[in-house]
């Protein structure tokens, strides 16, 4: 027994010591859950084609990814991070204080946020962003200040809309998708209200503050249901209730077109064309950021970036668009491929 104990403890200690001295020969990637499926696709293709060790891709969310990415230079820190928005100045500063100053920004494509409803729903839906805001905001701007959102049914918002209770399943506040939805759908919808327009005329700063604080609040009195990070769950709930709407990334709608249909926004249905030319209003750019100091140091990193930027992946009909990403227009793509493969450093973000 004592012998067993000694050997076992010795083995455990040896394991600990070895762990600390571990070097890294695979690429490490963190970042947005929206970019995750695309990076996954490149990682798998890359390791299958070249036989290199498979890159390790973690889905941490855009903000969480930036925090880890900007932690420093060296083997202990990831090489790439995916982002569903551009890097913020505060994140740039964090990077700079930790010595991460030479970073290349790569715009890889666009992603649309879709509002979807079951195929079994009796009506076809077409909403404006203002109607979306009126349905989901916590408080509405009026000439006499902010009032709690009184709308319970769609017909309360506009008589032409069906007499159905408002019910939308959407992402939780921690999600990048939620941030994007607030910024791309709620803010424009809020600013379209007459009271906000009047405020903008009267006092620009107050208007800006109101947009940031009040327009971002999603109601918590029932019609909006926080459905957690799992988009598949939302899809199932929509199937069970034909009057409920769901808010999630376009790739989920694309994969489930047989059971779901899109709610058109301003008369435009989400599709790769309408997302790419921004005629569908709720679309956002997708990026990844790469540390140039790691190129040539971490084995295969440069080759991996070349695979990510290859025509096979990025062109229309390439394997990224097969997963639902909306590709860049030809001229932008050529420029991006050039800049990213050659490791052009990004400028300091301004806003």
Partner 1 sequence: MTDLSTQDAPFAGSGSSLMRRRNRRQVMLQGLGLAAISFAALMLFVLIASLVSTGYKAFIQTHITVEVFVDPEEISVEKLPRGGFRDVLLASLQKEFPDVEGRAELRSLQNIFSNGAQFQLRDMVSADQSLIGQTVTLRAPVSDPFDQLAKGLVKRETPEQLRRVSDREIDWFDTLDAAGKISQPVNWGLITNADSRFPELAGLKGALVGSFWALLVCFLISFPLGIGAAIYLEEFAPKNRWSDLIEVNINNLAAVPSVVFGLLALAVFIGWFGMPRSAPIVGGMTLALMTMPTIIIATRAALKAVPPSIREAALGVGASRHQVVFGHVLPLAMPGILTGTIIGLAQALGETAPLLLIGMNAFITSAPTSPFDSATALPTQIFIWADSPERGFVSRTSAAILVLLTFLITMNAVAIYLRSKFERKW
Binding site for partner 1 (CB under 8 A): 1-2, 5, 8-9, 11-12, 15-16, 18-20, 22, 24, 26, 28, 33, 36-37, 39-41, 43-44, 47-49, 51, 53-54, 56-59, 76, 119, 229-232, 249, 251-252, 254-258, 317, 323-324
CA distance 163 to 257: 25
Which is nearer to partner 1, 211 or 247 (by Cβ)?
A: 247
Closest approach of partner 1 to the CB of residue 28, in Å: 7
Closest approach of partner 1 to the CB of residue 255, in Å: 5
Which is nearer to partner 1, 170 or 249 (by Cβ)?
A: 249
Closest approach of partner 1 to the CB of residue 60, in Å: 8
Contacts of residue 181, defined as CB under 8 A and 6 or more positions apart, other chains included, come to: 113, 170, 171, 247, 282
C-alpha separations of 326 from 36, 254, 270, 272 in Å: 15, 11, 11, 5
**Are 302 and 296 a contacting pair, CB within 8 Å?**
yes
Which is nearer to partner 1, 14 or 165 (by Cβ)?
A: 14
Which is nearer to partner 1, 72 or 349 (by Cβ)?
A: 72
Structure tokens at 239: 């199937």
Q: Which residues of 288-317 are buried (b: 16+ CB within 10 A; e: fewer)?
A: bbbbbbbeeebebbeebbebbbbeebbeee
Closest approach of partner 1 to the CB of residue 82, in Å: 12
Closest approach of partner 1 to the CB of residue 97, in Å: 17
Which is nearer to partner 1, 147 or 257 (by Cβ)?
A: 257
Closest approach of partner 1 to the CB of residue 8, in Å: 5
Structure tokens at 52: 């290199």
Closest approach of partner 1 to the CB of residue 231, in Å: 7
Which is nearer to partner 1, 48 or 97 (by Cβ)?
A: 48
Give DSSP secondary structure letters for 85-148.
Answer: SPPPHHHHHHHHHTT---EEEEEEEEEEEEEEEETT-SS--EE-HHHHHHHHBSEEEETTEEEE
CA distance 312 to 307: 8
Which is nearer to partner 1, 119 or 200 (by Cβ)?
A: 119
* Paired strand residues for 141: 146
């Amino acid at each position: 027994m004592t012998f067993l104990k000694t050997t076992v403890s010795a083995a455990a200690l040896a394991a600990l010591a070895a762990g600390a001295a571990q070097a890294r020969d695979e690429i490490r990637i963190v970042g947005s859950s929206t970019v995750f499926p695309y990076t996954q696709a490149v990682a798998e293709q890359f390791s299958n084609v070249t036989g290199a060790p498979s890159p390790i891709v973690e889905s941490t969310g855009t903000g969480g990814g930036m925090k880890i990415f900007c932690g420093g230079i060296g083997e202990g820190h990831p090489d790439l991070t995916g982002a569903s928005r551009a890097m913020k100045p505060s994140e740039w500063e964090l990077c700079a204080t930790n010595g991460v100053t030479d970073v290349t920004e790569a715009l890889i494509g666009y992603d649309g946020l879709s509002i979807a409803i079951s195929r079994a729903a009796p009506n076809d839906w077409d909403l404006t962003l203002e109607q979306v805001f009126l349905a989901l905001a916590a408080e509405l701007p009026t000439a006499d200040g902010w009032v709690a959102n009184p709308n319970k049914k769609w017909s309360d918002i506009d008589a032409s809309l069906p007499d159905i209770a408002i019910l939308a399943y959407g992402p939780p506040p921690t999600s990048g998708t939620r941030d994007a939805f607030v910024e791309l759908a709620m803010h424009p919808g809020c600013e379209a209200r007459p009271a906000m327009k009047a405020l903008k005329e009267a006092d620009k700063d107050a208007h800006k503050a109101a947009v940031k604080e009040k327009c971002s609040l999603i109601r918590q009195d029932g019609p909006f249901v926080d459905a957690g990070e799992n988009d598949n769950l939302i899809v199932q709930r929509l199937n069970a209730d034909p009057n409920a709407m769901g808010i999630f990334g376009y790739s989920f709608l694309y994969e489930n077109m047989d059971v779901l249909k899109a709610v058109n926004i301003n008369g435009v249905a989400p599709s790769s064309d309408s997302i790419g030319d921004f005629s569908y209003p709720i679309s956002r750019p997708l990026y990844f950021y790469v540390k140039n100091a790691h190129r040539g140091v971490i084995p295969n990193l440069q080759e991996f970036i070349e695979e990510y930027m290859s025509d096979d992946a990025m062109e229309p009909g390439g394997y990224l668009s097969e997963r639902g990403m909306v590709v860049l227009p030809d001229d932008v793509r050529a420029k991006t491929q050039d800049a990213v493969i050659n490791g052009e450093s990004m400028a300091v973000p301004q806003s």
